[in-house]
Structure 1
């Protein structure tokens, strides 16, 4: 957290711990009658409704925006799984490293609270070592987030475009994350394309949040492909660990099965070579997403006015202090400012244009975001190594 003497004018840059394996959040949400209170939010919502415009009271907010949560999945990690992707000597070694890294992107969510909906033009700019990551909210309705991450030393690049669509189904909310994710290993001239599994929030019979569905990873240059399936091995969520992942890696040109994958993404995941029968642990959640550290401001003057941690800083501070009156006022102030800016643009006949991405949209191809800069510059916010 950073404050200044002119806090009322400049706001507060407020950064919190990332979501990690330990449930290590600075919010301890244990409200009485939690299920009843959560379900009361949806009493006037019809099953099948799109919740992308749904507004939450600060009482149900995690003290950070979706923009920050997306970014944390990339730059907050206990070991350098991303760097390993570039170091594999063979295409198969690099591909299995990419699979391991893709599993590490998943983070345990907390039932009963959700991040803020980012405002239009909101940014989040963070560095971890040589990895520089920049996110921008390129659309508000519908919500679309663009991410660009680069590491000049390792010569790798990430480009994501995410469009989540949460829908209410009576006893659950299911969020499908549309959009393309790319990881480019420029030294090897390889591009890995992948999608995201769905986020499922279940209210009954027991409250639970989990990642479910298919995650497909492809590299057209090598012909290698992976199909991962996230889901539950428990009966109605009453027993067992539902955070399972099963799948396979195969050569898409010959359809030869190479490896089988099995495990739990919040524990360990193993890979079995189908030819030799040898098993290898390719992912250990305790090493990757346990005890993660919060980012820190290293150059306060370099923080943009659009920075997520600044826009929502006063609100986040109020939520952690359980000062709900000031939290409501802070959230209202951000929302009113956005409505005012929208009215001003409409009065001038202007259309908002992203600052860091070129965005295209079509009904057939969905949303596509291309970064304007080749390399993301070092950020004024960094993650301690």
Structure 2
């Protein structure tokens, strides 16, 4: 392996990549604060990542159209599996390999929407706020009011280096709420898979999903999703097996779905296509840069992103350093004034009652988790 190490690294970056790999190998603790070589930086901030949850907005809206608890649970599973390609392989397709996203500043914002149409009813809106910098935590809200489908969640990462790979434990969860014609609300607790970033030795990182994640419905239906990736000697990339089981004492048989989450999958019993993400996705619509406030991601990181896209890493580093220095000064000023940063769209709670209640149904680990409650005050019109 060592003879091919760094084979995908640009010649001008080989020395910095070698130093980076040596730093990784000797590093203990969380890797999130490490500085990556410029060529592997993404021009996109982590605050934009929640948009991946809804880049197929028809599937998000269609959850509300299910006539039974089972069909809605299947619709949630189909939508969730269909989000994975964008979240975990889209950088490989557009940039050639996985890139390290820009680490958002506290208070950073990202607003977007998907326009209304006949298939999905009204407009679907997105509000994202960086609610913590150390550790980096991103809170988000996606809502289609016309359909009565709302997703609220938060995400953080704990990273470590092991066996030549970066291991990412995703911290946080999401809650999907569906308003029913009866006036009741159905809720789904969604946990997040663990990531393994491979291909580092060659300078061409890519993500594999690992272990398990769960979608627990308040009606008792549970989706258990097992992820398998390509190993050193065997296996196929990006494979999964999802099993939807009925509530205890239910009469329905489990539904088993198998395939590759970045392309398509089938119902094991019927052979019918379950999900297919080989068709084009729909990008989120964002206001022009000149109309954004200083805290919105694309305006805040404009100079950095431009430098990265143009290969002018010196300019990118200059802009990036200024943003980071400004943030450090804000924290010093707050400490001097004995103040703390006030969140704009979310409120922190120590224990999420939905997580605690639904998590008990499948023995979630940990048994409780904190959360960020949306304040219903955005996005701007």
Q: Residue 197 of structure 2: which of 201, 207, 214 is its match?
A: 201
Task: Report deviation, 1:44.
Answer: 3.1
- The answer to whether structure 1 residue 280 and structure 2 residue 272 are counterparts is yes
Task: Report deviation, 1:134.
Answer: 0.4
Q: Is the 8 A contact 1:38 1:112 kept in 2?
A: no
Moved more, 292-301 or 157-166: 292-301
3-state SS of the aligned residue for 1:105? helix
The higher-RCO structure (CA 8 Å, 6+ apart) is 1
- The 1:170/1:260 distance shift into structure 2, 3 A limit, reads closer
Q: Is the 8 A contact 1:75 1:127 kept in 2?
A: no
Higher relative helix content:
2
Partner of 2:82: 104
Q: Is the 8 A contact 1:225 1:251 kept in 2?
A: yes
Question: Any residues of structure 2 matched to 1:234-313 within 5 Å, and which?
Answer: 234-236=230-232, 241-254=236-249, 257-272=253-268, 277-287=269-279, 290=280, 292-293=282-283, 295-297=285-287, 300-301=290-291, 303-313=292-302
What TM-score do the two structures reach when normalised by structure 1?
A: 0.80
Task: Provide the rounded CA distance (Å) in 1 between the counterparts of 2:320 and 2:379.
Answer: 30
Aligned length in residues: 338
Task: Provide the rounded CA distance (Å) in 1 between the counterparts of 2:194 and 2:258.
Answer: 19
- The answer to whether structure 1 residue 224 and structure 2 residue 221 are counterparts is yes
3-state SS of the aligned residue for 1:98? helix
Partner of 1:41: 20
What TM-score do the two structures reach when normalised by structure 2?
A: 0.81
- The 1:167/1:35 distance shift into structure 2, 3 A limit, reads farther
Question: Any residues of structure 2 matched to 1:154-233 within 5 Å, and which?
Answer: 154-187=147-180, 189-203=185-199, 207-220=205-218, 222-232=219-229
- The answer to whether structure 1 residue 317 and structure 2 residue 306 are counterparts is yes
Partner of 1:335: 324
Task: Report deviation, 1:170.
Answer: 4.5
Task: Provide the rounded CA distance (Å) in 2 between the counterparts of 1:352 and 1:175.
Answer: 27
Unpaired segments ≥5 residues, structure 2: 1-7, 116-122, 352-365
3-state SS of the aligned residue for 2:23? coil
Task: Report deviation, 1:37.
Answer: 5.1
Unpaired segments ≥5 residues, structure 1: 1-28, 380-385
Partner of 2:41: 61
Partner of 1:369: 372
3-state SS of the aligned residue for 1:253? coil
Question: Any residues of structure 2 matched to 1:17-96 within 5 Å, and which?
Answer: 31-32=10-11, 38=17, 40-45=19-24, 46=26, 48-69=28-49, 71-77=50-56, 80-96=58-74
Partner of 1:16: none
Task: Report deviation, 1:42.
Answer: 4.0
- The 1:247/1:36 distance shift into structure 2, 3 A limit, reads farther
Task: Report deviation, 1:296.
Answer: 4.3
Moved more, 103-112 or 244-253: 103-112
Partner of 2:363: none
- The 1:360/1:39 distance shift into structure 2, 3 A limit, reads farther
Provide the aligned C-alpha RMSD in A.
2.6
Question: Any residues of structure 2 matched to 1:352-363 within 5 Å, and which?
Answer: 352-361=341-350
